[in-house]
Homo-oligomer: A and B are copies of this chain.
Amino acid sequence: MIYAGIDLGGTGIKTALINEKGEILIKDTIPTRAERPGEEILADMAEMVRRLAQEAGIPLKDIAGIGMGFPGAVDPDNGTLIYAVNLPNCRNLAAGEYMMKTLGLPLYIDNDANVAALGEGLFGAGKGNTRCLVMITLGTGVGGGVVINGHIFAGAYHGGTELGHTVIVENGEPCSCGRRGCWEAYSSATGLIRAARREAQLTPDSLLWEMSGNDLSRIDGKMVGDAADRGDAAANKVMDEYLYHLAVGLGNMYNIFQPEILILGGGVSGRGDKLLNPLRELMVNEVYHNDVSKLDIRIATLGNDAGVIGAASLVMQEGRKE
């Protein structure tokens, strides 16, 4: 069988057809144009599945169904897109009904962070170890996805696993969710950049400041990493503090879930071993009774394809739901 996966984002709609090994047969991306009516976005997605199937020479009847990752709240039971900050017109949208009517295919939806965790778990860094798997996405925010017994776990009402919105510093930095001191406020790329800009302002003799061209707003996550790699004390201080906060939050997640594999994705994870090696050392202090014998922490391997592969995986799972 063939499985369709859609990664619906605020800027792009990415669609792919995938085989049972998680290999992408064909994929494409079109602009979302998020300001238009949600129905038009749905129509584009259906058309995209039809077109990719045609281009790949796959009859629609060979496609088992469509999976979709959505950057917000969904109701997976009846295929409704509930709400996403970046897709204001996709509110309470009966996407499942639409896809069945238009293509005769069932639609399975979930939150994008959950779907990415499933994709990485089944076909990426997790390599099928989905008895208990946690994926943390270090991007604009700190996203969390949890897979338990092969299926996405998201709490009783499918709005849980907001892993980034757990306080690690009481009364700390304000967070977008309304709390103070959330892990996300420290371990997101946004948190890294905020800390770097503060530090650069205090150290006009630093390489970090020099690299920014005396313009704090130009400092991004990659610049901090590059300056640190070149031995800049200011950037290394920022990076050390970033790693410490990250280890504390990951330690919390490990003590809670004790996952087979802890996967790091998102922009910051691009640092690879420069992130993993110091993190593994720091984690010894953060894991229950310092027992890291079962700690297996890895960088995500599917990159930007985790979304479509994970989305398509939702379809594969429907035949073997517990």
A215-256: contact bitstring with B at CB < 8 Å (1 yes, 0 no)? 000000000000000000000000000001100100110111
Q: A160-B258, A285-B179 are in contact. Are A167 and B322 (CB under 8 A)?
A: no
**Residue A120 CB within 8 A of the other chain:** no
**Residue A132 CB within 8 A of the other chain:** yes
Query: Contacting chain B: which of A19-27, A149-157, A264-272?
Result: A149-157
Which residues of B sit under 8 angstroms from A132, Cβ to Cβ? 155-156, 160
Which residues of B sit under 8 angstroms from A255, Cβ to Cβ? 160, 162-163, 165-166
Interface size on A, residues (CB 8 A): 46
Shortest Cβ distance from residue A159 to the other chain B in the assembled complex, whole angstroms: 5
A256 touches B156 (CB 8 A): no
Which residues of B sit under 8 angstroms from A163, Cβ to Cβ? 255-256
Closest to A284 in B: B178
CA A159 – CA B259 in complex, angstroms?
10
Which residues of B sit under 8 angstroms from A178, Cβ to Cβ? 285, 288-290
Which residues of B sit under 8 angstroms from A144, Cβ to Cβ? 256
**Residue A7 CB within 8 A of the other chain:** no
B168 touches A260 (CB 8 A): no
A166 touches B166 (CB 8 A): yes
Among A131, A157, A255, A294, the most chain B Cβ lie within 10 Å of the Cβ of: A255
Identify A258's interface contact among B148, B154, B244, B252, CB under 8 A: B154
Closest to A293 in B: B157
Shortest Cβ distance from residue A195 to the other chain B in the assembled complex, whole angstroms: 14
CA A245 – CA B251 in complex, angstroms?
19
Within 8 A of B (CB), among A261-307: 285-286, 288-291, 294
CA A157 – CA B166 in complex, angstroms?
23
B256 touches A167 (CB 8 A): no
A260 touches B156 (CB 8 A): yes
A256 touches B166 (CB 8 A): yes
Shortest Cβ distance from residue A142 to the other chain B in the assembled complex, whole angstroms: 12
A162-187: contact bitstring with B at CB < 8 Å (1 yes, 0 no)? 11011111101000011100000000
CA A248 – CA B182 in complex, angstroms?
10
Return 9 A-B CB contacts under 8 Å, by A number.
A144-B256, A149-B322, A154-B258, A156-B258, A159-B294, A166-B251, A166-B252, A170-B244, A177-B288
